Amino acid sequence: MDKQRLLSGVMILGLLGWVVPASAQYAESGVMMSADPVQPAPPADAPNAPPITAPEAAPAPAPITVTLPSGHYVLDPKHTSVIFKISHLGFSNFTGRFDRVEGTLDFVADAPQQSKLDITIYPNSIDTNVPELDEDLRGGNWFDTVHYQMANLRSTMIQPIDNKSVRVTGAFNLRGTTRPVVMDVTLVGQGKNPVTGDYSAGFTGTILLKRGEYGIANLEPMVGDDVTIQVDTEFDLKTDQ
């Protein structure tokens, strides 16, 4: 029995003598021993390797179609309002309007960027509800309507934003000076007009400009330089395209 115990002890010591140095050798080299060795990944061209595919491209955005029939539209002056707003002494926003306005819209539904908008405002028709102020504003320090009878907005590009909104980039001429402007326009409603029988479409649009750029700098800064112009109007379809 003693011989068997002695023989077992020698075998255990011998086994430890092999395992411990081997473990230390792997530890020094940074390699961890594992009961389940990690198998190397198969090469990409191996028979059982999964195919490598490129990621799918994102779908192209759907084109924007403005929900308005193509054709030649004429502005309805009886249902048009052009309002301007300007700071007065920093106390309030003073508002007024122009009573005489004309305009046309040649709209291309399939290619709105090819559409053309033309609006003419007559400054002599200014109406602030203060008659003596209206006369002053028609004078040479302001609109000088004797020499400049018209202000005009003519589009150079119409960019759809969604199916009811567009951004109109154009040239605005006022008091003999032409400057680039942007008008954001929203379609309010459309359909057959039950009164006239025409196909009508109503819009609201806003323009921001600086009056000093058009040579109208009188009373700055007491009267603000920034002017907001809001156009609410209806157009009637006169000729289909």
- Whether residue 198 is predicted with pLDDT greater than 80 in this model: the reply is yes
Q: Please tell me the CATH code under which domain 71-240 is placed.
A: 2.40.128.110
- Whether residue 69 is predicted with pLDDT greater than 80 in this model: the reply is yes
CA distances, 10 to each of 14, 18, 20, 21, 24 (Å):
6, 13, 15, 17, 21
- Whether residue 10 is predicted with pLDDT greater than 60 in this model: the reply is no
Confidence class of residue 29 from pLDDT cuts 50, 70 and 90? very low
CA distance 106 to 182: 18
Mean pLDDT along residues 152-159: 96
pLDDT value for 61: 54
Domain ranges of the chain: 71-240
Mean pLDDT along residues 141-165: 95
H, E, C per residue of the chain: CHHHHHHHHHHHHHHHHHHHHHHHHHHHCCCCCCCCCCCCCCCCCCCCCCCCCCCCCCCCCCCCCCCCCCEEEEECHHHCEEEEEEEECCCEEEEEEECCEEEEEEECCCCHHHCEEEEEECHHHEECCCHHHHHHHCCCCCCCCCCCCCEEEEEEEEEEEECCEEEEEEEEEECCEEEEEEEEEEEEEEEECCCCCCEEEEEEEEEEEEHHHHCCCCCCCCEEEEEEEEEEEEEEEEEEC
Q: What is the pTM of this model?
A: 0.71
Torsional sign, CA 186, 177, 119, 131: positive
Confidence class of residue 52 from pLDDT cuts 50, 70 and 90? low
CA distance 84 to 93: 10
- Whether residue 23 is predicted with pLDDT greater than 50 in this model: the reply is no
Confidence class of residue 239 from pLDDT cuts 50, 70 and 90? confident
Residue-averaged pLDDT of the chain: 83
Percent of the chain scored above 70 by pLDDT? 72
pLDDT value for 218: 94
List the structure tokens of 131: 């008659």
Higher-scoring residue by pLDDT: 73, 66: 73
